[in-house]
Amino acid sequence: MTGNSYYYRKLHSLLGIVPVGFFLIEHLLTNYSAFNKGHAGFVESVNWLNGLPLVLFLEIFFIWIPLLYHGIYGLYVAYTARNNVNRYSYFRNQMFMLQRVTGVITFVFVAWHFFSTRFQVSLGNVKHEELGIAMHGIATNPLFFVLYCIGIVAAVFHFSNGIWSFLVSWGITIGPRAQRVSTYFCMGIFVIMSVMFILSLTAFLDPQFQQMPVMNPQG
């Protein structure tokens, strides 16, 4: 692995943005429909996604395989990374450490979230239309709510700070000024996405998610 580590890291970096990052944004918009449009709007968004052509193919080859590679190789990077925060506690070194820590938290969180939702759909225990009800059960558990908030913030930070690293490693932001501007930009993404995800989670607390909504036959 050592001889090809440059290419492995480049692939790891790229997959973190495309398609894994795009999937996170799509997931945010779908979940935010619960806050913005209620249970019926959330079900409509879920059904639209699952009505896409070749949806299983898209999930396997454009979400789960890239996500699995990014996650497993990311664990390897986190394990082998040399964090010198105690000696060099400047801002970027702190961010370097947080990127590794949030990567591990995100890996565990995504595995748990996948098992609680999409995997249960695959087993036939939950229908796609009942995902809102399943999320209501998770959100109304105080411990799970707190753990979800931690997982959400970790995942969004890992993605946002990962954008900064991607721009540097791919030679897009070269000078100090460009990297400083991209820091503000990426932290802005972190704040906006975190707020939207937390609002989406709080939306599932609403009692309307305890049962299936009455859908408008007109669409």
Q: Which residue has the higher pLDDT, 5 or 68?
A: 68
User: Mean per-residue pLDDT for 105-126?
Assistant: 95
DSSP string, 24-89: HHHHHHHHHHHHHHHHHHHHHHHHHHHTSTTHHHHHIIIIIHHHHHHHHHHHHHHHH----TTT--
Least confident of 14-23, 35-44, 72-81: 72-81
Express as a percent the part of the chain with pLDDT over 70.
92
Mean residue pLDDT of the chain comes to: 92
Range 28-42 average pLDDT = 96
Domain that holds residue 69: 5-82+89-210
Question: pLDDT tens digits, residue range 77-89?
Answer: 888 876 555 555 5
Does residue 217 belong to any structural domain of this protein? no
Residue 216 lies in a domain: no
Domain count, the chain: 1
Candidate from 83-87, 122-126, 153-157 with smallest mean pLDDT? 83-87
Q: Is residue 197 part of a domain?
A: yes
pLDDT at 3: 56
Residues 6+ apart with CB under 8 A from 68: none
219 domain residue, yes or no: no
Residue 204 lies in a domain: yes
The 10 Å Cβ neighbour count of residue 21 is 19
Per-residue pLDDT at 185 exceeds 90: yes
Evaluate whether residue 117 is within a structural domain: yes
Q: What is the C-alpha separation between 45 and 50, in angstroms, rounded?
A: 9
Q: What is the CATH number of the domain that holds 203?
A: 1.20.1300.10
User: Quick one: pLDDT at residue 5?
Assistant: 86
Asked whether residue 50 is domain-assigned, the answer is yes
What is the band of 196 on the pLDDT scale with cuts at 50, 70, 90? very high
Q: At what angle do helices 142-169 and 91-116 cross, to 10 degrees?
A: 130
pLDDT of residue 165: 94
pLDDT at 91 over 60: yes
Specify the pLDDT at position 215: 66
Please indicate, yes or no, if residue 215 is contained in any of the structural domains: no
Q: Is 165 helix (H, G, I), strand (E, B) or coil?
A: helix
Q: Which of 73-87, 96-110, 112-126, 144-158 has the least mean pLDDT?
A: 73-87
